[in-house]
Amino acid sequence: MPDAAIAHSPLFTNLSPDECRIVSEMMTASCYESGEAIITEGKETSSLYLLSHGTCRVRKHMGNGADQDLDTLEAGAVFGEISFFCPGPHSATVVAETRATILSLSREQFHELQRERPTAALKITLHATATLARRLRRMDEWTCALVEKGTAPEKHTEWHEFRAQLYSNWNF
Amino acid sequence: MSSYEDASRYFHQAAGIMGLSKNMQKLLLTPEREMKVQIALERDNGEISTFIGYRIQHNSARGPMKGGLRFHHEVDEDEVLGLATLMTWKTAVVNIPYGGAKGGISVNVKELTQGEKDRLTRKFVDVIHDMVGPDKDIPAPDMGTNAQVMAWFMNQYSKFHGFNPACVTGKPVELHGSEGREEATGRGVVTLTERLLNKARREITETTFAIQGFGNVGSHAARRLAELGGKVVAVSDVSGGIWNPEGLDIPKLLDYASETGSISNFPGTDAIDNDGLLTADVDVLIPAALGGVITSDNAAEIRAKYIIEAANAPVTPEADEIFAHKNVIVLPDILANAGGVTVSYFEWVQNRQHFKWDVNRVRDELHRIMSDSFDKVWQIAEEKDISLRLAAYLLGIGRVGRATVLGGI
């Protein structure tokens, strides 16, 4: 059985103790120092990653040349699922913020799991789908906020606050 | 502390209460245009003197800018800017359709002959005539200038732009000036004082007054107070002060002052100095001369319960705080001495209509504007539980702010 941090990972929540053991045995553990990239935007790998210890940052290179932090991952978080299920370059970079231990499951191992323990593989797929769905929902919210910001009728917030103050409390 | 800093201190206090952002405070406080000019003058003795003149236009959100033109050796950019901002709030407090400006020439006016003063005024008009005018910026008399200077101003302005008496106010009554302009500030002071005493449930006839300054403002205030039965017990001018606890005979004093040119040695009075006048045992103190005369040094000694700022900024911000703790009520300059600019406005209105009002109409309209403005400021002070000064600033800043919002930037 893997350590407690992994056991509490949502990835394993619905797995039976036996499935849990098999999956964790399939996974490879690697250590990363703070600042080291685990996956790099634009590069391709074919594994699913589970953050076992430490904290990581998800970072994206923006059109204006700056790097934008998108998220912070804590122990138990799963990442790399986009390239895992849809082979292609990573959409963002994940960098270890602290010293971090990562468990990875390669696509080949996952195919093996599908053959050997299809229920466990389905549970992992469902979990990864839920993660993707959550991220898609958050992306929708960001898109809406960006659209609102870009097309809002009034961009001059300060001017409007000024107007509101002068016409409410201070209009004698 | 500079004049501008002093003037902006109250602004920032009020703007802070209103929760205006730093950027909006900057927008309201930054002057629109500052003009600094050289005026070279050939003196009667053949010497060449060079003077610096200023015209600072602070804000025109509510209308053409309005403000005095002073000839005084202490005039500098900082002082003119501070006074220009005061004019913006002042015209807004009394709700006349003007913005604020101020100007002046740094010159010791006592050293100038009448002819030199005439030429100096005209040379100043020559360099600023494009930025002033009835729809832009309308100067008026101030320290060291008078109706005669305004007449020269108008005459010189008309050489560039044609006949247009509304380009300046405070002109002689014979030359498109208004009846009641000279007495306006003093009369306004008394209307407001009456209103204030009324709120305090005091009768003017049972109230004693001390007035610092017996010029255009102080003498007219004294005359009007005496007419209403008030007891003026002390007055002073540059020559010193006089005191009679039984009350001064103001009509006789006015005659005496115009005959002798000063109030000193007026029969039946004791001499007092200016400090003595300020700390005299009276109910109401009216500083009607210079700015900065009541400071943290003498504020604690002042016995009056009401101070009417007939002059501009006679009470320093530090003294103002002391009075707040002592429960002394200070009627702030931007309201107290606004009678002058109000009748200047009437003069401008008459000039533009080519129709002359009689003195009673001027006095009635002045009384209406002063009373309404006082009531508004008093109401704000009560509602918000703040001083009359902050209430006046809230009213003025609010009006200028709304005009800015409506007009856009």
Confidence band for A14, pLDDT divided at 50, 70 and 90: confident
Give the range of the structural domain holding residue A114, as residue numbers without chain letter: 4-167
Angle at A37 between CA A33 and CA A39, to 5 degrees: 135
CA distance B94 to A73: 62
Q: What is the pLDDT of residue B318?
A: 94
CATH code, domain carrying A111: 2.60.120.10
**Residue A134 belongs to some domain of the structure:** yes
User: Across the interface, which of B376, B379, B405 has its CB nearest the CB of A162?
Assistant: B405
Which residue is listed with tokens 């210890």? A53
Q: What percent of chain B has pLDDT over 70?
A: 100
| pLDDT at residue A87 greater than cutoff 70 | yes
Structure tokens of B259?
Answer: 């005959």
CATH topology of domain B31-166: Rossmann fold (3.40.50)
CA distance B137 to B130: 10
> Are the Cβ atoms of B402 and A158 closer than 8 angstroms?
no
**Average pLDDT score over residue span A118-144:** 86
The SS3 of residue B69 is: strand
Q: What is the pLDDT of residue A158?
A: 85
Average pLDDT along chain B:
96
Domain with CATH 3.40.50.10860 in chain B: 31-166
Q: Which residues does residue B48 pair with via DSSP β-bridges, in sequence order?
A: B42
> Are the Cβ atoms of B18 and A158 closer than 8 angstroms?
no
**Residue A65 belongs to some domain of the structure:** yes
Q: What is the pLDDT of residue B231?
A: 97
CA distance B360 to B355: 15
Which residue type occupies A119? Answer: T
**Residue A25 belongs to some domain of the structure:** yes
Q: What percent of chain A has pLDDT over 90?
A: 21
The dihedrals phi and psi of B350, each to the nearest 5 degrees, come to -65, -45
Interface of A to B at Cβ within 8 Å reads 158-159, 161-163, 165-167, 169-172
What is the domain count for chain A?
1
Longest dimension (CA), chain B: 62
Q: Taking a contact as any Cβ pair under 8 Å apart, which residues of chain B between 24 and 63 contact chain A?
A: 24
Query: Which of A83-87, A144-148, B232-236, B395-399 shows the lowest per-residue confidence on average (mean pLDDT)?
Result: A144-148
**Average pLDDT score over residue span A124-131:** 85
| pLDDT at residue A134 greater than cutoff 90 | no
- Chain B nearest-CA distance from A153, in A, is 16
| pLDDT at residue B391 greater than cutoff 70 | yes
C-alpha distance across the termini of chain A, in Å? 73
**Average pLDDT score over residue span A133-162:** 78
> Are the Cβ atoms of B402 and A162 closer than 8 angstroms?
no
CA A63 to chain centre: 21
| Cα torsion B277, B342, B227, B266: sign | positive
Which residue type occupies A111? Answer: H
- B184-336 classified as CATH 3.40.50.460: no
User: Across the interface, which of A158, A167, A172 has its CB nearest the CB of B21?
Assistant: A158
Confidence band for A6, pLDDT divided at 50, 70 and 90: low
- Chain B nearest-CA distance from A131, in A, is 43
Q: CA separation (Å) from A127 to A9, A65, A79, B69?
A: 11, 34, 12, 80
**Residue A172 belongs to some domain of the structure:** no
Q: What is the pLDDT of residue A1?
A: 41
CA distance A171 to B247: 43
Q: Which residues does residue A172 pair with via DSSP β-bridges, in sequence order?
A: none
Confidence band for B2, pLDDT divided at 50, 70 and 90: low
Q: What is the pLDDT of residues A22-50, one digit of tens each?
A: 888 888 899 999 999 999 998 988 899 99
Mutate to test the interface with B, among A158, A162, A163 (most CBs of B within 10 A): A162
B376 touches A at CB < 8 Å: yes
**Residue A137 belongs to some domain of the structure:** yes
Q: What is the pLDDT of residue B383?
A: 95
Residue B42, exposed/middle/buried by CB under 10 A (0-12, 13-18, 19+)?
Answer: exposed
CA distance B59 to B370: 22
* Count of residues making up chain B: 409
**Residue A133 belongs to some domain of the structure:** yes
| pLDDT at residue B139 greater than cutoff 50 | yes
B394 touches A at CB < 8 Å: yes
Query: Which of A3-7, A29-33, A131-135, B289-293 shows the lowest per-residue confidence on average (mean pLDDT)?
Result: A3-7
Domain with CATH 3.40.50.720 in chain B: 184-336
Confidence band for B24, pLDDT divided at 50, 70 and 90: very high
